Amino acid sequence: MRFSIYIFLLILPNYLLGQLLSPRSATALNKVVLYQDSSFFQHSSVIYEEGDLFEVLDETRYEHEDAAQNQKFKWFYVRTPDNKEGWIYGDGLAVIQPIDEIQGTIKAYHQKEIAYSGKDETIFSWIASIEGKDNFHEEDHLNPLYKEQYLVLTSPLKKSAHILLSGQSAMGINTLHRLNFSDINEDGVVEVIVENSSIDKNSNLEGRSLEVYAFQAGTIAKVFEDRLTLTYQGNQPSPALFKTVNIGEKTIRVAYIDYISCENYSCPFETNQVSQTQEQCMEYVTYTQLWDESVQNYQPLYEESRSYLSGIVNDANGYALRREPSYLGEVVEKIANRAALIIIKHYEKIIKRKGQKVVVPYLYVKTEQGNYGYIHADKVQFVNLEHADLLHTYYRNPPLLKSDWTSKDPFVFLKKDLDALITGSK
Q: Is residue 142 part of a domain?
A: yes
Sequence-distant (6+) residues with CB within 8 A of 46 are 33, 34, 35, 84, 86
What integer pLDDT is reported at residue 17 of this predicted model?
53
Which candidate, 388, 420, 393, places its Cα nearest to that of 405? Answer: 393
Residue 17 domain-assigned (yes or no): yes
Residue 151 lies in a domain: yes
E strand residue ranges, 170-205: 172-182, 191-200
With 0-12 CB in 10 A as exposed, 13-18 as middle and 19+ as buried, what is 403?
Answer: middle
Q: Which of 127, 157, 173 is the endpoint of a domain?
A: 173
Which of 173, 193, 217 finishes a domain? 173
In angstroms, the first-to-last Cα distance of the chain is 25
Q: Given 122, 149, 173, which residue is the final one in a domain?
A: 173
Q: Which domain holds residue 55?
A: 11-173
What pLDDT score was predicted for residue 418? 46
Q: How many residues does the chain have?
A: 426
Alpha-carbon span 218 to 221, nearest angstrom = 10
| Domain shared by 169 and 313, yes or no | no
Confirm if 283 and 271 have CB atoms less than 8 A apart: no
Say which DSSP state 162 is in.
E
CB atoms within 10 A of CB 233: 13
Distance CA 283, CA 279 (A): 13
How many CB atoms sit inside 10 A of residue 36's CB?
Answer: 13
Question: Are 13 and 21 contacting, i.e. CB atoms less than 8 angstroms apart?
Answer: no
The reply to whether 417 falls in a domain is no
pLDDT of residue 425: 42
Report the domain count for the chain.
Answer: 2
Residue 277 lies in a domain: no
In a domain, 16, yes or no: yes
CB atoms inside a 10 Å sphere around CB 120: 7
* Rg of the chain (C-alpha set): 27
pLDDT, one tens digit for every residue, the chain (426 residues): 333 333 323 333 444 455 568 889 999 999 999 999 998 888 999 999 999 999 999 999 989 988 777 889 999 999 999 999 999 999 999 999 999 999 888 999 999 988 877 677 788 999 999 999 988 887 777 788 899 999 999 988 888 999 999 999 888 999 999 998 888 988 888 899 999 999 988 888 999 999 999 988 777 899 999 999 999 998 899 999 999 999 988 999 999 999 999 999 999 999 999 888 899 999 999 999 999 999 999 999 999 999 999 999 999 999 999 999 998 999 999 999 999 999 999 999 999 888 899 999 999 999 999 999 999 999 999 997 899 999 999 999 999 999 999 999 999 998 765 454 454 443
Is there a contact between 124 and 25 (Cβ–Cβ < 8 Å)? Answer: no
Cβ-based neighbour number of residue 294 at 10 Å: 6
Residue 99 lies in a domain: yes
Q: What are phi and psi of 99, to 5 degrees?
A: -65, -30
DSSP 8-state assignment for residue 67: T
- Could you tell me if residue 296 is inside a domain? no
User: Collapsing DSSP states into helix, strand and coil, what is residue 136?
Assistant: coil
The answer to whether the CB of 281 falls within 8 A of the CB of 257 is no
The pLDDT of residue 20 is 67
Co-location of 169 and 318 in the same domain: no
Contacts of 151 (CB under 8 A, 6+ apart): 106, 109, 125, 126, 127, 162, 163, 165, 179, 192, 194
CATH number of the CATH domain containing 133: 2.30.30.40
Evaluate whether 42 touches 36 at the Cβ level (below 8 Å). yes
Q: What is the pLDDT of residues 3-39, one digit of tens each?
A: 333 332 333 344 445 556 888 999 999 999 999 999 8
